[in-house]
Amino acid sequence: MSRTAGASSPRGPAGEGGRPEARPDEGSRRDFIIANTRMMRPPLVPEVRLRLADEAVPLWTKTEEQLGAMGPPPPFWAFAWAGGQALARYVLDHPAVVRGRRVLDFASGSGLVGIAAALAGARAAEACDIDSYAVAAIEANAAGNAVPVAARLEDLIGADEGWDAVLAGDVCYEKEMAEAVTGWLASLARRGATVLIGDPRRAYLAADRLECVIEYRVPVTRELEDSEIKRTGVFRFR
């Protein structure tokens, strides 16, 4: 759903770490997103409409051209990853998790989970990412679903602003990032926040510290994943 600092391949899901990048012109980012995506409904969450891309590599190439630099952040914001779809489905089916509460969608990417939280009745929904294009996508997608989601260009690992619920999808595909995020999320859970992680059991998911609340079979694209259906869990800390 997002990216991690140093990410170098479009074959990997959301992450967060490092310093937030400088924000280019907001209008140009939004125009780029609109020109290179189309409105789609994620297969597991048809209630939500997102601006998504059909193909990853061509969009990544266009992102390089847009920024005038080699090796820009992969456009994780342009795809509905398995963990995010699972979290969004769970929140919509179990609205009590977020209803009337302040919710953070961490490493948000497209904003899917934050939008689902807003639709399910969150008192305040926030979505953070360190990619300025993701922040623009979150804003565009929230507007497209007519819900208020506060998009934040920040790395919030280590922060505690009193969120009632923190939702994190696809944050366990890189070891260092997964360890940092897991430790932070565990601290939030210990002080009483509802913390849920959506993940298709990637290599660095801390399975020994988590229990699976529910599992979904999530349709995804083979361009980004190793199968067309990913068995994906929503997890909480034991």
How far apart (Å, rounded) are the C-alpha atoms in residues 220 and 204?
20
In percent, the amount of the chain with pLDDT more than 70 equals: 85
pTM of the model: 0.88
Which tokens in the block code for residue 31? Answer: 């125009």
The domain total for the chain is 1
**Overall average pLDDT of the 118-127 stretch:** 98
Q: Are 171 and 181 in contact (CB under 8 A)?
A: yes
How far apart (Å, rounded) are the C-alpha atoms in residues 154 and 128?
6
**Longest alpha-carbon distance in the chain:** 46
Q: Per residue in 44-75, pLDDT tens?
A: 999 999 999 988 667 767 777 776 655 566 78
The domain that holds 193 is classified in CATH as 3.40.50.150
**Overall average pLDDT of the 107-131 stretch:** 98
Find the domain containing 61 and state its range: 1-238
Which tokens in the block code for residue 75? Answer: 């456009």
How far apart (Å, rounded) are the C-alpha atoms in residues 49 and 93?
17
Residues paired with residue 211 on neighbouring β-strands, in sequence order: 236
